[in-house]
Amino acid sequence: MADKIIQIDSGEAERKGLPSVAYFADRACLSPGYFGDLIKKETGLTAQRYIQNKVIDLSKQYVLDRDLSLNQIAAKLGFQYPQHFTRLFKKEVGMTPSEYRN
């Protein structure tokens, strides 16, 4: 169920910012609490952690695409500032996006 709802790369993140639990709950016509409970039951992760993992997975794919700058990737994923993208990426992956790319 969760993978069918979580479509971060639709281009909407670039226009509206980082996807939130409330955003996906609304898309699924569920309350944020119930949505979170369903994600937790299906994945064992909180909804926020699940979404963050999906953002990181997608960002890894984008980083390997050398046609996109890191600033473009950050914007595409919905980060207001590229530094926030770099900080989260490094925290989750253990290296900066530039290091991962190389």
CA torsion angle 35 76 70 94 (round to 10): 10
Domain boundaries, given as residue ranges, for the chain: 2-101
Q: What is the pLDDT of residues 17-71, one digit of tens each?
A: 788 899 889 888 999 999 999 999 999 999 999 999 999 999 999 999 999 999 9
Q: Is the pLDDT of residue 4 over 70?
A: no
The helix/strand/coil state of 68 is: coil
* Residue at 77: amino acid letter: L
Q: Does domain 2-101 have CATH number 3.40.390.10?
A: no
9 falls in which pLDDT band (50, 70, 90)? Answer: low
Q: Which pLDDT does position 7 carry in this prediction? A: 52
Whole-model pTM: value is 0.79
